[in-house]
Amino acid sequence: MKDYYGALGVSRDATEAEIKKAYRKLARELHPDVAGADGEERFKEVSAAYDVLGNAEKRAQYDRGVDPRSASGGAGGPQGFGFEDIFETFFGGGAGPFGSAQRGPASRTQRGGDTLVHTEITLEEAVFGVTREIQADLADVCSTCHGSCCAPGTQPQTCRQCNGQGSVQRVARSLLGNVMTTAPCPACGGYGTTIETPCTDCSGQGRTHSRHTIAVDIPAGVETGTRIRMTGVGDAGVAGGQKGDLYIEIRERAHAVFERRGSDLHCTLEVPMTAAALGTVLSVDTFDGPQDVDVRPGTHAGSTVKLKGLGVGRLQRQGRGDLFVHLDVVTPTDLTAEQEELVRQLAALRGEEAPEARLAPIGGGVFSRLKDAFLGRER
């Protein structure tokens, strides 16, 4: 199989731009009109290499070990490399903001840009969703000229230099002799018309800026970094062009009690040692109002109670996450003499006046529960 990369003198990981640049350089040097008959075969070889490597699909086939030119009979020159590419290769083609080969005058009308604003919401608003009014400085179609860019009572005039064509032709000398080149008209900028009397309210842009108040529906489940797109609500374009889009990026404020992990909420509930030993029912304030938490007798520190469906609404999905209440058994440190005596009596009744040290097996005990809680937070 032919070495097309070697023919162009590029590496196998060369970019599209590097391949095109290498081909242009070799094409100038080896063209028969420049190098004569001696460079004809080499020129064909380089052209064949660019035919393959200059096409993403053919290049992929070649990299897999298949020569697409051999599969198709190897006929023809570089596919998709027409007169405009040849013109650009030798003469630059008059490339500019209006393309490598301009045909007719360019339009002044341009689409408006996209606008990004930020808004902060609370965790509760992320749970249920909210409608929020935001402020944004946006461009509107000029109310004076209505996007024409001209002062009232005037209109664009045909360019005298290019007669409305938007481009001018010049004769340039090259290796092949005199050639005609085409470039955007310097007088009108390629538009074919000039604005003799621009609108003073918009400085000839066809749009003005003002502050807007926009109502945004923020769905449940959004989080910091979520972007909401409002199509056609951004800046108006130049010369009456269509509006761009408005993006609202969410920043979620941290909550003093609840911690969010995806669509679930987590909180810590302090339980007195006696209540943990005997069992009780405690009421917890949630975003859905007070909820009962059943603390079963003999509850250990680090135990968790799940309140199903009381978490965050799932973005673009049905249902909500869960609320996990982590129980923290609080051991008293300020016992009175009477309370301390009662505890000593309890220890005596349980035979725990001088307890023996017993190591918990791996996979159980408070450290394991703390590890599981930590890993759950990381996930």
Nearest to 354 by CA among 363, 344, 368, 340: 344
Residue 162 token pair: 């290019």
pLDDT of residue 246: 93
Over the stretch 173-187, which tens digit does the pLDDT of each residue have? 766 667 777 888 888
pLDDT of residue 137: 92
Over the stretch 94-140, which tens digit does the pLDDT of each residue have? 433 344 444 678 888 989 889 999 999 999 999 999 999 999 999 99
**Rounded alpha-carbon distances, angstroms, from residue 295 to 268, 325, 355:** 13, 11, 26
Neighbours of 266 (CB within 10 A): 19
Q: If you search the block for the tokens 């860019």, which residue do you land on?
A: 149
Tell whether the model's pLDDT for residue 327 goes beyond 90.
Answer: yes
End-to-end Cα separation, the chain, in angstroms: 51
Tell whether the model's pLDDT for residue 230 goes beyond 50.
Answer: yes
pLDDT of residue 201: 92
User: Is the backbone of residue 204 left (phi > 0), alpha (psi -120 to 50) or beta?
Assistant: left
Distance, CA of 68 to CA of 52 (rounded, Å): 7
Tell whether the model's pLDDT for residue 59 goes beyond 90.
Answer: no
Mean pLDDT of 239-268: 94
Distance, CA of 165 to CA of 374 (rounded, Å): 70
pLDDT of residue 84: 44
Report the mean per-residue pLDDT for the chain.
Answer: 83
Over the stretch 304-323, which tens digit does the pLDDT of each residue have? 999 999 999 999 889 999 99
| Residues with Cβ within 8 Å of residue 158, at least 6 apart in sequence | 164, 192, 193
Structural domains of the chain, ranges and CATH numbers in brackets: 4-81 (1.10.287.110), 115-150+199-252 (2.60.260.20), 259-378 (2.60.260.20)
Nearest to 313 by CA among 285, 292, 288, 283: 288
pLDDT of residue 33: 61
